[in-house]
Each structure stands twice: as C-alpha cells, then as structure tokens.
Amino acid sequence: MGSMLLSRYWTLSVATLFGCVLPQNALAHDPISPYQNWAEVVRSKPYAESKGVYDNVMNVRRWILTRSGHCTERNRHLLFDMRGNFLQFIDDAADSLQTQLILNQTRHGMAQQGQVHAWVEGNSQTLGYPFAIRCHQPYVDLPLAISRYLGEHPDGRLSGNWDGIKVGTPNNQASLHDTLRLVHARRVQQKRISLPDDLLSDLAGMLIIESGGVREAHSKANARGILQLTPQALKDCKVPTNKQLHRIAQVDCALWLFERNHRMLRPVFLTRFGHLPQEKQEHIYRLLLIQAYHGGPGRVRALLTDDEFNKPAAYFAEHHQDFSAGDIAFGMVFHNLGRNRLGFASLYYTADIRIALQQLESKQSARLALGPQPKTLVPPGTNQLSGKL
C-alpha cells in the first residue's frame, strides 16, 4: 500500500531520505573496510547477529515518531548499526550536501575508532554504513492522527452507507474506530471474512500510519484515501471510481485485502513456524501480515517458501528459543535487505504501526476497554466486538 503519513518520504530518493547528494569520491578513502556497499555488510554477518534488532529499531523509530530521545531536536540524523543499535547522532549542516559529507566523515571516524567493524560511504545512489536516518519527518504527527482516528478531531467523524453497511447518522457521526469495528462485525456476520477480532488493532494502526486519518490523502505512488489503497486494489474490491475516497469503502476493502493475505499466508506460515509456542507464533504472524499489507503477500510468502529467500526463516524456526518474536519477523526481512525489492521501509512500517498502537493505548486505555457501542451504530443482529483496538 502507499502509506501516506510515514511513507511519503520512503518513496523519495535515497539521498533525500538519508542525507542528500554527495558526489562520488568526495571523501578520501582509507582501506579500512573490505565492503563496497551496505548490502555486503548485511550479508557478511550470521543470522544470529540480528538478535535484538526488533527492540533496537523500535527504539529509533519511537524517537522519530514521538520527537523524543535524541530526536527532540528535529534537525539531526541518527546513525545505527546492522542490529539497529543507536550509535551516535549528528546535527544537520546548513545544506544537504554538507550534511551528507558529515555523515560520511562520522562513519569513517567510527570505523577508525573501532566502534563499527566497517564503513561504507553513502551517496545519491546508495545507503551508507553505519545506516542513518533523519529525525525530521515532515508528515509525522501521531497525536493528530490518533485524534482523527478516535473521532476527537472533526475530520475523523463520518456517517454514510456502503454496500449494505450504514455507519452513524448526520446527527450522531461515527469515529473511524467505530467504523472499523462495525464493518468487521458485519462482514464476519455475513461470513465474508474470517479475520479474528484481535487482528483489528493492527488494521487500526495501519489506518493511523497510512494516512493519519486524512480522507483525501494521496501519495506519489498514486495510493489514496485513509488506507492508501492503490487503484488496482480498489478495482479488485469493486469500488467505483467515484467512491475511491469513501471511508467506509476503504475500510471494507482493506479488510478484504487483509483477509486475502491471511488466507494466502497462514498455511505456509504454519508449515514453517507451527511448532513454536502459540503466543510467539501469533506475534510473528501478525508482524508478517503487517509487512504483507505494505509490500504485498507474495513477497512475504517468498520469505517463507522461496529457496533464495527462506534461509533466514529456516534458521529462525530451528533456533527460535534464542530470539524474540519481533527479532524473528524482522530478521527474516533484514537478512534479505536488497533482495526482492525489500528495504528498510518494510521494517520501519511495521515498527511504526506497533508504536502508533502503543501511543493509542496509552492515550485511551480507559476508552479502549470499549463499553457498549452507540445504538445508532449497531445494525440489528450485529455482535458486539470484544474491542482490542
């Protein structure tokens, strides 16, 4: 999907995301590192090196999304190693060329001082190592996005009809939270989807991250609406062209896509990880479903089944006791970075959704217990959901 709130910058050039253009050979090289590019750094390390990567990436992304930690000052870049460990920050220079130069000088210095085992110069065409990311992400405003989702902001409230589903009334509008629960309940009642209730929270996080709850959100990749659906996805869901921004239709289509991914991935996932303890198994699976929504189910399926891409999954399945569920889900992607169009965006997207949910739960712990639904929102025969959003 298109991921508007936090992914607009992911579709930009590597230079824009990680600094900016630096002419080749702008920094004199010492023969410190045998590596020619960042992918070689990843490939050189055993799978065990990704232990802790989930918590580390979550930590870095949390600073960025919540403007905390080392990102209280927005004009900074954070540098981190291949396990996601934060290493150092730099203050941005007056222009992007100088910022990139400082990043490469810092990488070089880290390698000379033994802080990292290698360094790779970043430029307009490729990432550098240690990896770097900007604190300032201009499309990130989690508090506002959550306010829209919960209906506290007027832009997040709605009423209308879609394919036999009525949500709210003009005098008693629904929140996006209410809408998600209601559409799910109706489609389960109709036996059109089988998604368990506890996956709804992940879809809520996607809505917050994809668009910030902005109805008219439109990405450079031509994804649109509150769930940043592509024209092809909307066509597959039989959403007419004039209804593509319809918020109830967007939720309905996203649920259908989630159901499709669930049916495609569940059997192969269980073949690979079905022997794991149930709680750990489900945690990994939910993270992979999130990645499938972002990058497509075929790409995630390949991580489980393809001879070229499934080696990390096979290793983690055999040695699962040594890794957290998050490390396994992230490690499968991490050790395939640069292959099959897999990049850091997949890891960032998944981390951002979990962080959004943590922020949502922190803000609305009492509300998220979910008392009775407003009667105007519940059609006859619809079951109440337990409510884990």
The residue from 87, 104, 134 where one domain ends is 134
Encoded tokens for 329: 């889900």
Inside any domain, residue 386: no
Inside any domain, residue 258: yes
**Do 14 and 151 belong to one domain?**
no
Inside any domain, residue 360: yes
**Do 189 and 321 belong to one domain?**
yes
**Do 263 and 301 belong to one domain?**
yes
Question: Torsion-angle region of residue 25: left (phi > 0), alpha (psi -120 to 50) or beta?
Answer: left
**Do 169 and 317 belong to one domain?**
yes
**Do 87 and 185 belong to one domain?**
no
Give the separation between CA 313 and CA 209, rounded to whole angstroms: 27
**Do 165 and 112 belong to one domain?**
no
**Do 263 and 149 belong to one domain?**
yes
Query: Measuring CA to CA, which residue among 188, 198, 192 is closest to residue 238?
Result: 192
pLDDT, one tens digit per residue, over 220-274 is 889 999 999 999 999 999 999 999 999 999 999 999 999 999 999 999 999 999 9
Give the separation between CA 227 and CA 1, rounded to whole angstroms: 8
Give the separation between CA 224 and CA 153, rounded to whole angstroms: 20
Inside any domain, residue 197: yes
**Do 106 and 234 belong to one domain?**
no
Give the separation between CA 126 and CA 103, rounded to whole angstroms: 13
Encoded tokens for 282: 């489900």
pTM: 0.85
Inside any domain, residue 383: no
The residue from 134, 169, 186 where one domain ends is 134
**Which DSSP string do the residues of 286-333 spell out, in sequence order?**
HHHHHHHHHH-HHHHHHHHH-TTT-HHHHHHHHTGGGS-HHHHHHHHH
Contact criterion met (CB below 8 Å) for 35 and 130: no
Inside any domain, residue 388: no
Domain of 189, CATH number, reads: 1.10.530.10
Encoded tokens for 305: 């089944």
State residue 33's pLDDT score.
55
Half-sphere exposure of 134 (CA within 13 A, CB side): 22
pLDDT, one tens digit per residue, over 290-300 is 999 998 999 99
**Do 122 and 152 belong to one domain?**
no
**Do 216 and 296 belong to one domain?**
yes
DSSP conformation class of 161: E
Give the separation between CA 293 and CA 203, rounded to whole angstroms: 10
Largest CA distance in the chain: 73
Inside any domain, residue 384: no
Inside any domain, residue 86: yes
The residue from 110, 134, 158 where one domain ends is 134
Contact criterion met (CB below 8 Å) for 251 and 180: yes
**Do 122 and 219 belong to one domain?**
no
Task: Collect the ranges in the chain with pLDDT lower than 50.
Answer: 3-29, 31, 366, 368-389
Q: Judge if the upstream peptide bond of residue 130 is cis by omega within 30 degrees of 0.
A: yes
**Do 110 and 157 belong to one domain?**
no
How many structural domains is the chain composed of?
A: 2
State residue 348's pLDDT score.
94
Residue-range definition of the domain harbouring residue 31: 4-60+73-134
Q: Which amino acid, residue 52?
A: G
